Structure 1
Amino acid sequence: MSITSGCDGLLLQCSALTLVRGERELFSGLDVSLRPGEVLQVEGENGAGKTSLLRVLAGLARYGYEGEITRPVPLLYIGHLSAVKELLTPRENLAWHVDGHADYRDSDVCAALAKVGLAGYEDVPSHQLSAGQHRRVNLARLHLSRQPLWLLDEPFTAIDRDGVASLEHLFVSHAKRGGAVVLTSHQPLRMEYPLTRLMLRAGGDL
């Protein structure tokens, strides 16, 4: 994978970011910069604005915030809600998600599903799968991703211990290739790799 970044080497930068929901200010004056090889964990209690921050950084929130955001590279966003279409199989769901990003063979799609523990489930209708298996279908996109920047909201939800360890290894591999990861998580990461933490506090304090 070839990683390209902005002229200053950044994959993501936001300056003086302020986000308001309703009449409540979630955070203000937030500065974030991300360079190739960096992993940023966004922490905070429920309601502190973690999901809202990721959606803003991904360009999915068009209003309610102030500040400047620069994203000079393609990104992959995976939210905490299931993006699996239940009438499709895991194979069809994954092919649909990655369509247009690159040319993938069916064998590539099946290999990605196998890496998340879904070998043998490729053609099972997704409505027959568990919540954890739905989550794995979404996360299989990481194994096909060519986007340098990953924005992941609670990627460990409904994932067992082995799956968590596998994801942490994947994050490190992506960072070592020159990519970057921003993730939210309620649990501490145990990967042996430099990690930056950003704590959001309900009420707008950082």
Structure 2
Amino acid sequence: MRLSGSGVSCVRGGREVFSGLDFAVSAGEALAVTGRNGSGKTSLLRLIAGLLMPQGGSIGLEGGTGELTLPEQAHFLGHRDALKPALSVTENLAFWREFLGGEAFDLAECLAAVGLDHAAPLPAAFLSAGQRRRLSIARLLAARRPIWLLDEPTNALDTSGQAMFAALMDDHLARGGLIVAATHAPLGIAARELRIGGAA
């Protein structure tokens, strides 16, 4: 499996964010997208996820599951945690597992993997910022997809949370997955760097 972009350009709000961008990342590899605020890191992830259309160039996936589109094989984990405060931790995760489809994994095991098994019955409104991030990460495990698109994935995580997530990312790569992460901070795993220029 190989994800690549050739001459990719992005325009948002009438402003060119970046242009002529080339990248490639294969199964078992991670790509860390770096750059100043406003340089287009999140926009690149959204282009790969199919949430934006490129102004020019192309993004493609070789390998993977032939009958599925690139967005259907990718998890987009934004820098904001998409949770419903009134639903319990387990109910939030169950919603995402059903919404995303595919092979279903045990919710209790997924919560234990991110250190939230003790909070399973609590409303998400009671979670700290770090716990909300852990719950978002559990989505990656509840409905497995080979491509992880991560926007500032370690935000709000303490040292132990960052170590936990690094171990999960390493495991994902070892299983043949790939990761593209927009980040200002080290990911804690081996990753090639793609630096995007542009105005802040």
TM-score (norm 1): 0.85
Q: 1:51 to 1:121 in 2, by over 3 A?
A: same
Query: CA–CA distance in 2 between the matches of 1:136 and 1:25?
Result: 34
- Equivalent position of 1:159 in the other structure: 157
Q: How does 1:1-206 map to 2 (within 5 A)?
A: 5=1, 10=2, 12-62=3-53, 65-71=55-61, 73=64, 74-99=73-98, 100-104=101-105, 108-191=106-189, 193=190, 195-203=191-199
Query: CA–CA distance in 2 between the matches of 1:23 and 1:181?
Result: 29
One-letter code aligned to 2:56? E
| Contact kept? 1:27, 1:203, Cα under 8 Å | no
| Contact kept? 1:25, 1:203, Cα under 8 Å | no
| Contact kept? 1:152, 1:184, Cα under 8 Å | yes
One-letter code aligned to 2:35? G
- Residue by residue over 1:122-179, the C-alpha shift from the partner in whole angstroms, topping out at 9 and shown as x without a partner, is 1111112222221111101223342111101111010001111111121122112111
Query: CA–CA distance in 2 between the matches of 1:65 and 1:32?
Result: 16
Deviation at 1:103, TM superposition (A): 2.9
Which structure 1 residue ranges, 4+ long, deviate > 6 Å from structure 2?
A: none
One-letter code aligned to 1:163? G
In structure 1, runs of 5+ residues without a counterpart are none
Query: CA–CA distance in 1 between the matches of 2:167 and 2:129?
Result: 23
| Contact kept? 2:7, 2:21, Cα under 8 Å | yes
Partner secondary structure for residue 16 of structure 1: strand
| Contact kept? 1:39, 1:180, Cα under 8 Å | yes
In structure 2, runs of 5+ residues without a counterpart are 65-72
Query: CA–CA distance in 2 between the matches of 1:183 and 1:17?
Result: 17
Query: CA–CA distance in 2 between the matches of 1:114 and 1:27?
Result: 40
Aligned length: 189
One-letter code aligned to 1:136? R
One-letter code aligned to 2:60? T
TM-score (norm 2): 0.87
Query: CA–CA distance in 1 between the matches of 2:104 and 2:143?
Result: 11
Partner secondary structure for residue 169 of structure 1: helix
Of 148-157 and 162-171, more deviation after overlay is shown by: 162-171
One-letter code aligned to 2:75? L
RMSD after superposition: 1.7
